[in-house]
Amino acid sequence: MSRPFPYTYISCPCADTPVPDPARKRRSRESPQKSPQKPPPERANLSAEDRKEPTDSEQHEEDEEEEQTFDPRSPRSNFSLYPPEQLLYCEECHQIKCPRCITEEIVSWFCPSCLFETPSSMVRSDGNRCGRNCFNCPVCTAPLAVSTIENATGNGAQQGPWVLSCGYCLWTTLDIGIKFDKPTNIRSQLQKMTDSTAQPTLDRSRQASRTFGDLKSPLSTFASIDEQSAAREQDGEQSASQEPEAPPMGTDARFAALKSFYRAQIAETSASPNDPLSTDFGFSSPGALNRLMSLYASSSRLSGLYGGSKKPKSKPPVMREAITASEGLQLAPENGDEDLIKRITSPSCGWDGMASTAQRAAQSPDARFTDDLLPLPVLLRTKRAKRCKSCKHILVKPETKPQSTRFRIRLIALSYIPLPTLRPLALSTSSTLPTIAPTPDLNSLPPLRPVHVLLTLKNHMFDPVRITLATPPVTPGNVATKVTVLSPQFEIGANSDVWDEALQGASAPLKGDATMSGMRGVPEAGKVWDKGRNWTTVVLEVVPGTLPGSSAEGGDGNGEGDEGILAVAGQNADEDVLEIPVFVRMDWDADAQLEQGNIGKGSKPDDKVTRELAYWMVLGVGRIQPSL
């Protein structure tokens, strides 16, 4: 609710029916028939004195009928209120769709820097980063430029070593001692340089672990780590011959080695013939739980029964941990911490040499110093299509090409529902020029003093629309503000061609009231304020209520708004905000389409079908002054 006053929000009906089901379609269509026929038209015309009395009974009625007044203050309504521009409309369900009741699917991936589309298969294999030349500075995240060194120094043509350089913080790949031989395909060049899971390596390590695994395959029946390591010492000469020459692995390689190692372990231990229960269950299957339970039960019970003297025959094998470097084990270096500390305290590093957490976030976990940072390929972005959650109808579908900003399908709600706009009417209603008269300050509305607000509804459909507005006579919440719609039922013209109006004169679209010019001036009950080709303005009379507790501090609050507002806001945040829930029911005669479902309430002979749509909207009028 951070918009400036006045604002309008529209409530998506999905808040009431969180589970998308066909029943909801019916319900939302039925609901408008019920509610507006009840109180609103008459109620709005009630005079002030007898307005109080029927309110309670009506609200009771409403509560019983589960068709409750929308309360903009209820915590739930935060999640259903959206500015009109953010809403979509499903033509199948005939319903407003908010970001919560749609699903998104990715149409294409592209690099925001080079606008090159990346196939999703490549995204899956290479990660969602640009595979070409786009990099961000690892220090300051500005985009990096590929530039040559030789050319800049003046000797030579366009060849020579190339570097990535940041125009902002002057970081270059020379800072980490890297240069490139070609200006193209930097990503693969860099990967070749830094990839520790390079093909020969990977093969070698995998082979090593496989041979090691084969070697150990009889050992897989060992019951405990101790036995296993003991056995390992026995055939230590084989493994020891491998270990010392094994180079330290990079992070990726270690991860791959560990992954393959544990996969092998799972396969060996779960498919062990000694385990009666888990012959065909892996660790990833629910049978693993059974196996674990039996493991506990058998060991404890058997050892209890037989005094532990006899070793249970079927002791299941235990997974062991990685114990060699080729399996992915990395021992912390002897005095690594001391070296680190020494390096940190050295004058060449210091605070500025340490990589910040923001810088380390996307880097390898070993990177601690700014010298360890590698340039980051640019993250890809997506274009997304949006579907209705309940009927899977596509609501938004952008063009696949990253260069294009057009949409193939875009069903935004504003082309189906009238756009509400709100503005205050000038204070002196007697003035003939209302625009000149001072408008009330919406950030401090005096309580108990009527304010007139103009609500304009602008129709974007090509059919004229009949609108019925309904408000609760008193706004829900602690601050009882009286609201009256002076003309709750009116029509909005079709969004016809602008030229039609000009060519046909003012007769056709403006067949409303003939006395339109005379309507300016005094807001009158039962009459629309103003009307245009496809818009209509009505007047809302608002009498802001008094804030709770403001009577107590009414003495000192002599127009000094700020402190009073703060004090009130301290009690209950934003209680002074005047928001009016308005129920809008619109119906129009649409062209009959092929699939009409169960709408046809009053289907007309000439293939016209009466459509209805009803929803709540919230008008944010302003803040109420704490005192008079």
Partner 1 sequence: MATLKPPTNTHRSSSSSHSSGPPKAPLKADATATIADTVVFQGTYPVTIGAGTVVHPRARFYAYEGPIYIGDSCIICEKAVIGAAPSPSSRSPSPSRTADPNITSSESGTGTDLKKEAATRISYFVTVGPLSTIEPGAHVHSSASIEALAIIRRGADIGSHSKVCSGVEIAASGPVGEWVVVWGSGPGQRRKRARGAKAMSPAVVGAAQISQAPLPAPAPEGRVIEDARLMVLQKEREVLGRMLVPAAGGKKK
68 vs 141, beta carbon nearer partner 1? 141
Determine the number of helices (DSSP H) and then strands (DSSP E) in the chain. 17, 22
Alpha carbon distance, N-terminus to C-terminus of the chain: 25
Which of 172, 260, 265, 326 lies at the binding interface for partner 1 (CB under 8 A)? 172
Which residue in 8, 173, 487, 537 binds partner 1 (CB under 8 A)? 173
- Give how far the C-alpha of residue 397 lies from the chain's centroid of Cα atoms, to the nearest Å: 18
Among 68, 120, 128, 196, binds partner 1 (CB under 8 A): 196
- List 11, 113, 136, 201, residue binding partner 1 (CB under 8 A): 201
> In the bound complex, what is the minimum distance in angstroms from residue 154's beta carbon to partner 1?
7
352 part of the interface to partner 1, by CB under 8 A = yes
Check residue 249 for interaction with partner 1 (CB under 8 A). Answer: yes
Q: How far is the CB of 216 from partner 1 (least distance, A)?
A: 24
- Please say whether the beta carbons of 278 and 290 come within 8 A: yes
149: β partners = none
Q: Does 340 bind partner 1 (CB under 8 A)?
A: no
The verdict on 474 binding partner 1 (CB under 8 A) reads no
Q: What gap in Å lies between CA 160 and CA 146, rounded to an integer?
A: 12
Window contacting partner 1 (CB under 8 A); options: 197-205, 336-344, 420-428, 569-577: 197-205
Please give the distance of CA 14 from its chain centroid, rounded to a whole number: 16
Contact flag: residue 169 with partner 1 (CB under 8 A): yes
Kindly identify the residues of this chain, within the stretch 522-561, that bind partner 1 according to CB under 8 A.
none
Instruction: Choose between 120 and 196: whose C-beta lies nearer to partner 1.
Output: 196
Q: Look at the block and give the residue holding tokens 């970001």.
A: 99
Task: Decide: 139 and 363 in contact? Cβ < 8 Å.
Answer: no
One of 35, 270, 370, 459 touching partner 1 (CB under 8 A): 370
User: How many residues are listed for the chain in this entry?
Assistant: 628
Q: Which is nearer to partner 1, 198 or 508 (CB)?
A: 198
Instruction: Pick between residue 180 and residue 222 the one whose CB is nearest to partner 1.
Output: 180
The count of residues interacting with partner 1 (CB under 8 A) is 42
The reply to whether 345 sits near partner 1 by the rule CB under 8 A is no
Closest CB to partner 1 among residues 96, 325 = 325
110, 383 contact by CB (below 8 A): yes
State the DSSP code for 518: H
CB of 330 to partner 1, least distance (A): 12
Site string for partner 1, 250-289 (x = CB under 8 A): x--x------------------------------------
Is 161 among the residues that bind partner 1 (CB under 8 A)?
yes
Stretch that binds partner 1, among 7-15, 196-204, 320-328, 424-432 (CB under 8 A): 196-204
In the bound state with partner 1, the residue whose beta carbon lies nearer, of 169 and 341, is 169
149 binds partner 1 (CB under 8 A): yes
Q: Are 540 and 580 in contact (CB under 8 A)?
A: yes
**Smaller CB distance to partner 1: residue 175 or 575?**
175
CB atoms within 10 A of CB 117: 18
Beta bridge partners of 102: 388
Stretch that binds partner 1, among 57-65, 160-168, 215-223, 556-564 (CB under 8 A): 160-168
Annotate 175-187 with DSSP letters as a single string: GGT--BS-SS-HH
Contact 374, 190 (CB under 8 A): yes
Contact indicator for 581, 476 with CB cutoff of 8 Å: yes
Piece of 87-95, 210-218, 365-373, 459-467 that binds partner 1 (CB under 8 A): 365-373
The C-alpha atoms of residue 131 and residue 123 are separated, in whole angstroms, by: 9
Among 75, 177, 505, 605, binds partner 1 (CB under 8 A): 177
Among 123, 178, 277, 419, binds partner 1 (CB under 8 A): 178
Q: What is the DSSP letter of 6?
A: S
Structure tokens at 31: 């609901």
Is residue 179 involved in binding partner 1 (CB under 8 A)?
A: yes
- Helix runs in 88-147, H state only: 120-126
**Closer Cβ to partner 1, 353 or 549, answer by number:** 353
- 175 vs 491 by CB, closer to partner 1: 175
Q: What share of the chain is helix, strand, coil (3-state, %, to 5)?
A: 30, 20, 45
Spatial CA neighbour of 400 closest among 120, 126, 85, 135: 120
Helical (H) or strand (E) element with 531:
strand 530-531
Q: How far is the CB of 262 from partner 1 (least distance, A)?
A: 21
Angle at 475 between CA 471 and CA 478, to 5 degrees: 170
Please give the single-letter amino acid code of residue 114.
C
Rg (CA), the chain: 36
628 binds partner 1 (CB under 8 A): no
Strand 81-82 to 394-398 pairing: unpaired
Interaction between residue 344 and partner 1 (CB under 8 A): no
Helix or strand (DSSP H, E) at 191: helix 186-194
Spatial distance between the Cα atoms of 108 and 380, rounded to a whole number of angstroms: 10
Instruction: List the interface residues with partner 1, window 103-142 (CB under 8 A).
Output: 139-140
Contact with partner 1 (CB under 8 A) among 128, 364, 382, 415:
364
Report whether 144 contacts 186 (CB < 8 A).
Answer: no
Burial string for 142-156 (b: 16+ CB within 10 Å, else e) reads: eebebebeeeeeeee
Assess 378 for contact with partner 1 (CB under 8 A).
Answer: no
Which secondary-structure segment (H or E) carries 88?
strand 88-90
Q: Does the footprint of partner 1 cover residue 194 (CB under 8 A)?
A: yes
Binding of partner 1 by 247 (CB under 8 A): yes
Enumerate residues 6+ apart whose C-beta is below 8 A from 441: 622
Reduce the DSSP state of residue 553 to 3 states and report it. helix
Q: Which range, of 14-22, 111-119, 167-175, 559-567, touches partner 1 by CB under 8 A?
A: 167-175
Judged by CB under 8 A, the stretch of 29-37, 187-195, 409-417, 540-548 that binds partner 1 is 187-195
**Shortest gap between Cβ of 211 and partner 1 (angstroms)?**
18
CB of 248 to partner 1, least distance (A): 7
Tell me which residues touch partner 1 (CB under 8 A): 139-140, 149, 152-154, 161, 163, 165, 168-179, 193-196, 198, 200-201, 247-250, 253, 352-353, 356, 364, 366, 370-372, 374
